[in-house]
A and B are shown apart, each in its own frame.
Chain A
């Protein structure tokens, strides 16, 4: 085991992680560390592979290569790529939310939070048998679970709507509920996939408060995918930047935001500053690209019928959602290319990616 980081300092260590879908390398040789008690942000343009990293960490995908180690505060350590899907939240205490919100929309808010405490309640109810006969131990545990649910409803500012169906909530509240539900599993690592996508500034501010509160009071570390730079810069302690499945930068928010590779790839710092970089790079398309905000189309998938498709279709992407990939290929590579002034060949990744719009050929810009 790579012990370069002391064990109780790092909660999550991702080492040489690769994930290939057929010919497409969604993540290539990614290594990073998330420290305990910190908010680590994972950023990058659309299609960079952030959600795929989450799906590998939470066991929805089995990575092609690499090792994901989780160190719990009690000293136990789990190799997440080897655990079955449902044991990752249950034993390794990793909880997650989804980019396209996945609530139990026909159940009330309270029920959503009670389902999250399933394993605990299952034990308390003697795997249903004792509970069926109304044993007092179960009744106590179920009262406690309602208390915990209420606690998180209060934190998420949703307690007034506890008895309404989750599908009836406005978008921002659904996001907060999903976070509250994840917290009800009692996680040590909370993975949030674009929690601020589609939120208005007020909801976004409420989310920031909630996340800071979680970090400070519950002791959970947070791994965050975010497009909203105000959120990332304000609350994260550590930023990892992905582009086309590769890490292009890693460090404090300050250092990341001044990294020219990151600026070119993704970040909006100052419009003029970006433009200088862009004119250096010589790609006008990037300017268009930066105007594209986070896509707001990540609503919960429409009600599906018995005839709906297999699970893998719906992991990570709501039906019909297509990942749009940046028009040019890797901007970071363009910066590199510029500095080495060598004409770039289209990378094999760009050709392997069928969804890359090739409307405007990059044509070896420099």
Chain B
């Protein structure tokens, strides 16, 4: 081994030698890093004394895994990636890409068969192989589904890329219908299908769309105008409490309070904006962060009005435009009016379409505004504020409109959130929410609606998926809760995406006007703004 460690030999070391050496280094570094984190664990015993438990086995496993991972990457991964770039001398063609090798027809067929089989045998599986193995099989099934979908997307990638927006909207509109249909088929009953769809429509669909809408709203402030706002959740809170308070106290309908909540949030945006927007960069970020915390503290401490940290419950549900309601006891309950079976899924599906419509409204307004003078001024402000002033643009009002517009959409989302939960408390509006929304905007590529939607889907959907990984309990013991690792994974995903695509998923910028042809502007020219 002494030979490979010698730096003089660096030039002539084969990939194998290099890999061995780097694996050793990686192992040593991870040993140094984790010896205290993983190797030792402090706890309390029965008599409240601090006890130190050692976990050398786990430490060794982590260190060895790190070393092996580094070895495989340097010995096989790097040469493979390098070879992908070398064209064949005879034909001049690049080698088959990793993706086209990964997505092949035989594998696709196997996956489809697996999916069909496992779905068909779903109910009898646990009986045959025991609950433990059934968990793994369900995971295998999920993987196969993902593989099949990925194959389809891969083969139609040209078409999908060309029509991404239309396909995306169509998929979003069909999503609840598809979920109910598939689940009804699986359980052979509509009611069962409706009941089973709750999780998919609510936890995945609505949850993701709320974040999509919030991120699109924040995108106006951060992505277009380049103002770093760390307290966006404050406007979300204003919207939520506006609906919660006015709805419970005065019994006003959601359809009146939705615009009112938006207007109120916009008003608070202007109110905050006036003193704050002359600040720039770090200062603006800190003051907006403080504003978010102030709103939360007011909500906690102004007990007479907000009921403190206990929150407000019994927030009225949204009605079907006043025609039908979703309360079983009401005479015009939707199932009674339409003579269909009772189910709580109708409300969730209705909410899904409601938030979808609100999110699409946000996108539509953003797209429209970008092509208007005010939207162009926002982007110009992000590029160069001084040049803006030299062209006679009132930068203060321009920033204020960006702030107010962003806040308004936050307010809409907030009142929707209150209606969906039926309960609001200050706990829902912590700084972490602002950070997550901002992270989605940055990951998606500032200014790009599609990128942000994808980022929200990956980030929020990804963390929801963690709840599904119950079979991991079999590996790590019954105490293991994958949800607890969501922030860790969130952070890791962010680091990876930022290394891979520093400007987010979609780094290019669509010009708002063109003379001859519309060319996307490369991210190397756009700026992030000074705050």
Question: Which residues does chain B contribute within 8 Å of A106, judged by CB atoms?
Answer: 379, 382-383, 509, 521, 525-527
- Min CB gap B215→A, angstroms: 18
| Partner among B365, B394, B514 whose Cβ is within 8 Å of the Cβ of A163 | B514
Q: Is A198 engaged at the interface, CB distance under 8 Å to the other chain?
A: no
The answer to whether A311 and B373 have CB atoms under 8 Å apart is: no
Interface residues of B in 369-423 (CB under 8 A from A): 369, 372-374, 376-377, 379-380, 382-395, 401
A125-B511 CB under 8 A given contacts A95-B390, A115-B391, A165-B522 = no
Q: Is B281 an interface residue (CB 8 A)?
A: yes
CA distance A132 to B281 in the complex (A): 30
- Chain A residues 160 to 219 lying within 8 A of chain B, measured CB to CB, are 162-168, 181-182, 185
- In the complex, how many angstroms separate the beta carbon of B514 from the nearest chain A beta carbon? 5
Distance in Å: Cβ of A183 to nearest Cβ of chain B? 11
B368 touches A132 (CB 8 A): yes
Given A95-B390, A115-B380, A132-B368, residue A307 in contact with residue B525 (CB < 8 A): no
* Chain B residues in 8 Å Cβ range of A315: 386
Q: State A2–B529 Cα separation when bound (angstroms).
A: 44
Check A314 for interface membership: any CB of B closer than 8 A.
Answer: yes
B512 at interface (Cβ–Cβ under 8 A)?
yes
Q: Is A33 an interface residue (CB 8 A)?
A: no
User: Are B530's CB and A308's CB within 8 A?
Assistant: yes
- Between B373, B385, B519, B529, the greatest number of chain A beta carbons within 10 A of the residue's beta carbon is seen for B373
* A58, B514: Cα distance in complex, Å: 31
Q: A114-B376, A128-B374, A131-B372 are in contact. Are A150 and B515 (CB under 8 A)?
A: yes
Of the candidates A103, A110, A115, A165, the one whose C-beta lies within 8 Å of that of B515 is A110
Q: Is the CB of B517 within 8 A of A163?
A: yes
Q: Decide: A111 and B525 in contact? CB cutoff 8 A.
A: no
B280 near A311 with CB under 8 A, answer: yes
| Contact, CB under 8 Å: A163 / B228 | no
Measured CB to CB, the closest approach of chain A to B134, in angstroms, equals 50
B393 nearest CB neighbor, chain A only: A118
* Contact across chains for A86 and B392 when beta carbons are under 8 A apart: yes
Contacts of B509 in A (CB 8 A): 106
Closest-by-CB residue of A relative to B516 is: A163
Interface residue stretch chosen among A5-13, A72-80, A234-242, A298-306: A298-306
Q: Kindly name the residue among B386, B392, B516, B522 whose own CB sees the greatest number of chain A CB atoms within 10 A.
A: B392
Measured CA separation A80–B527 after assembly (Å): 31
Residues 489 to 527 of chain B near chain A (Cβ within 8 Å): 509, 511-519, 521-522, 524-527
Q: Quick one: given A115-B391, A118-B376, are A108 and B514 in contact (CB under 8 Å)?
A: yes
Which residue of A89, A108, A119 contacts B390 across the interface (Cβ within 8 Å)? A89
* Interchain CA distance A107-B383 in the complex, whole Å: 8
Known: A106-B509, A107-B380, A307-B282. A86 touches B393 (CB 8 A): yes
- Per-position 1/0 for A119-139, Cβ under 8 A of B: 101100100100110000000
Nearest A residue to B398, CB-CB: A118
Cα(A215)–Cα(B529), bound, Å: 35
B365: A residues at CB distance < 8 A: 132
Nearest B residue to A106, CB-CB = B526
Chain B residues lying within 8 Å of A60, measured Cβ to Cβ, are 386, 389-390
Across the interface, B525 reaches (CB within 8 A) one of A85, A132, A153, A167, namely A167
A304-B527 contact given A89-B390, A150-B515, CB 8 Å threshold: yes
B190 shortest CB reach to chain A, Å: 42
Residues of A within 8 A of B280 (CB): 308, 310-311
**In contact, A128 and B528 (Cβ under 8 angstroms):** no
Is residue B231 contacting chain A, with contact meaning CB distance below 8 A? no
B28 interface residue (CB < 8 Å to A): no
What distance in Å separates the Cβ of B400 from its nearest Cβ neighbour in chain A? 13
Shortest Cβ gap from A58 to chain B (Å): 6
- Is B426 in contact with chain A by the CB < 8 A criterion? no
Do A115 and B376 have beta carbons less than 8 Å apart?
A: yes
Q: A132 and B372: CB pair below 8 A?
A: yes
Q: Which residues of A contact B369 (CB under 8 A)?
A: 128, 132
Residue numbers in A under 8 Å from B521 (CB-CB): 106-108, 165
Does A90 lie at the interface of the complex (its beta carbon under 8 Å from any beta carbon of B)?
A: yes
**CB-CB nearest in chain B for A166:** B525
Does B239 count as interface, using CB distance less than 8 angstroms?
A: no
CB contact under 8 A between A86 and B394, given known A107-B521, A118-B377, A305-B528? yes
- Interface positions, chain A 248-291, Cβ under 8 Å from B, are none
Judged by a CB distance under 8 angstroms, whether A146 is at the interface is yes
Question: Which residues of chain B come closer than 8 Å to A36, judged between CB atoms?
Answer: none
Q: Once the chains bind, are A58 and B393 in contact (CB under 8 Å)? A: no
Please tell me if the beta carbons of B514 and A104 are within 8 angstroms of each other in the complex: no
| Contact assessment for A111 and B386 in the assembled complex, using a CB-CB cutoff below 8 Å | no
Known: A104-B387, A132-B372, A307-B282. A111 touches B512 (CB 8 A): yes
Are A111 and B373 in contact (CB-based, < 8 A)? no
Residues of A near B392 (CB, < 8 A) are: 86-90, 118-119, 185
Question: B285 in the interface, Cβ–Cβ < 8 Å?
Answer: yes
Query: Smallest Cβ distance from B361 to chain A, in angstroms?
Result: 12
A62 contacts partner chain B, Cβ-Cβ < 8 Å: no
A105–B528 contact, CB under 8 A?
A: no
Q: With A108-B521, A119-B392, A163-B518 given, is the CB distance from A114 to B513 under 8 Å? A: yes
Q: Distance (Å) between the CB of B385 and the closest chain A CB?
A: 7
* Chain A residues within an 8 Å CB radius of B285: 306
Measured CB to CB, the closest approach of chain B to A256, in angstroms, equals 28
Is residue B531 contacting chain A, with contact meaning CB distance below 8 A? Answer: yes
* Neighbouring A residues of B401 by C-beta, 8 Å: 128
Residue A116 at the chain B interface, CB threshold 8 Å: yes
CA A291 to CA B374, docked complex, whole Å: 47
CB distance from B31 to the nearest CB of A (A): 35
Q: Which residues of A contact B393 (CB under 8 A)?
A: 86, 115, 118-119
Q: Which of A105, A116, A310 contacts B527 (CB 8 A)?
A: A105
A168 touches which of B282, B395, B525 (Cβ 8 Å) = B525
Smallest CB-CB separation from B368: which chain A residue?
A132
Report Cα–Cα, A314/B382, bound state, in Å. 15
How far does the alpha carbon of A284 sit from the alpha carbon of B66 in the complex, in Å?
68
What 0/1 pattern do residues 266 to 296 of B give for CB contact below 8 A with A? 0000000000000011100100000000000
A309 to B386, CA, bound (A): 13
B385 neighbours in A (Cβ, 8 Å): 311
Q: Which chain B residues lie closer than 8 Å to A304 at the CB level?
A: 527, 530
A107 to B522, CA, bound (A): 10
In the complex, what distance in Å separates the CA atom of A199 from the CA atom of B376? 30
Most buried by B among A116, A306, A307: A306
* A98 contacts chain B at the CB level, 8 A cutoff: yes
Closest to B524 in A: A167
Bound Cα distance A332, B522 (Å): 50
A159 at the A/B interface (Cβ < 8 Å)?
yes
Q: Are A102 and B390 in contact (CB under 8 A)?
A: yes
Contact with A along B330-349 (1 / 0, CB 8 A): 00000000000000000000
A249 to B295, CA, bound (A): 61
Q: A110-B513, A306-B531, A314-B386 are in contact. Are A181 and B391 (CB under 8 A)?
A: yes
Contact B515 A104 (CB under 8 A): no
Closest Cβ of chain A: how far from B368's Cβ, in Å? 6
Q: In angstroms, how far is the closest chain A Cβ from the Cβ of B274?
A: 16
Residue of B nearest to A159 (CB): B515
Q: Does A96 contact B (CB under 8 A)?
A: yes
Least CB distance, B379 to chain A, in whole angstroms: 6
Between A and B, 5 residue pairs with Cβ closer than 8 Å are: A86-B394, A102-B384, A104-B380, A115-B380, A308-B280
- Given A106-B383, A119-B393, A165-B521: 12 more A-B contacts, CB < 8 Å: A89-B391, A95-B390, A108-B513, A110-B514, A118-B377, A121-B372, A132-B372, A162-B516, A163-B517, A182-B391, A310-B281, A311-B385
